[in-house]
């Protein structure tokens, strides 16, 4: 079975990322990724654009239809990665975390709590024990090491597959952390099936301080320009 390099959590200009979908795709290709998902906040638009782009350009890259949904459970906001094998005709998903899980069952999508113990970024925290899920993002390149180690320990306790992602918000962050997935075929259904079966080796990594500093600087400039011209 082939083993592929995959980063299934990244953002584009469709939410708070600094680079376009096309730029994120080309960065992924440069770094040897064979599967990605553009998981913009509360929208599938980035991943839909990515799927259309690779098809139009004939690029050999698996793109999962994805979204980082800010769901709500027991009065708390939490980020959930939703990864689907194909573009959905009806992506009117619920925000309630339990109903969102049920929605993913109906649409054959993965339901993965993102950076669960990084509560400054809407991790679900101890509520993870109340949730149904397919896998856990055990390693997130933007989360502190102790937070990630706790997530991995929880995944092992619950017997859930573990994934590792960059959570890239600009091109230099892509694949900072990623997965090596053993797949039957190079397609979204096979990637999802392999994750469910735990055929994933996580590759840990962090965002270098210099890259993160440049990202913050660019973000501040972008925010300032937007404020100047659109206030």
8-48 residue pLDDT tens: 999 999 999 999 999 999 999 999 999 999 999 999 999 99
Q: Would you say residue 50 has pLDDT above 80?
A: yes
- pTM reported for the whole predicted model: 0.95
Q: What is the pLDDT of residues 84-103, one digit of tens each?
A: 999 998 889 999 999 999 99
Q: Would you say residue 227 has pLDDT above 60?
A: no
Q: Where are the beta strands (DSSP E) in 11-61?
A: 35-38
Which pLDDT band, with edges at 50, 70 and 90, does 226 fall under?
Answer: low
| Residue 126: per-residue pLDDT | 98
Which pLDDT band, with edges at 50, 70 and 90, does 221 fall under?
Answer: confident
Which pLDDT band, with edges at 50, 70 and 90, does 231 fall under?
Answer: low
- Using CA atoms, how far residue 165 sits from 97, 107, 175, in Å, is 21, 23, 7
Q: How many alpha carbons lie under 13 Å from residue 180 in its C-beta half-sphere?
A: 7
Residue 107 backbone phi and psi in degrees, to 5: -110, 10
The CATH fold assigned to 3-230 is TIM Barrel (3.20.20)
Mean pLDDT of the chain: 95
| Residue 230: per-residue pLDDT | 55
**CA atoms 33, 27, 140, 63: torsion sign:** negative
Token duo for residue 134: 């397919």
Which pLDDT band, with edges at 50, 70 and 90, does 113 fall under?
Answer: very high
């Amino acid at each position: 079975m082939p083993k592929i390099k995959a980063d299934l959590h990244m953002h584009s200009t469709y939410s708070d990322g600094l680079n376009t979908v096309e730029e994120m795709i080309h960065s992924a290709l440069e770094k040897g990724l064979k599967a990605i998902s553009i998981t913009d906040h509360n929208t599938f638009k980035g991943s839909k654009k990515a799927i259309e782009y690779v098809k139009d350009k004939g690029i050999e890259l698996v793109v999962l239809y994805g979204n980082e949904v800010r769901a709500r459970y027991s009065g708390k906001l939490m980020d959930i990665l939703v990864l689907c094998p194909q573009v959905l005709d009806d992506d009117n998903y619920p925000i309630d975390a339990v109903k969102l899980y049920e929605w993913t069952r109906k649409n054959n999508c993965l339901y993965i709590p993102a950076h669960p113990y990084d509560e400054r970024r809407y991790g679900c925290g101890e509520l993870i024990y109340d949730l149904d899920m397919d896998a856990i993002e055990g390693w997130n390149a933007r989360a502190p090491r102790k937070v990630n180690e706790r997530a991995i320990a929880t995944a092992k306790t619950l017997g859930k597959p573990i994934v590792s992602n960059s959570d890239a918000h600009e091109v230099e962050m892509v694949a900072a952390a990623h997965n090596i997935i053993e797949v039957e075929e190079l397609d979204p259904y096979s990637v999802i099936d392999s994750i469910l079966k735990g055929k994933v080796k996580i590759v840990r990594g962090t965002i270098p301080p210099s890259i993160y500093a440049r990202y913050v600087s660019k973000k501040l400039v972008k925010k300032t320009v937007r404020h100047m011209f659109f206030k």
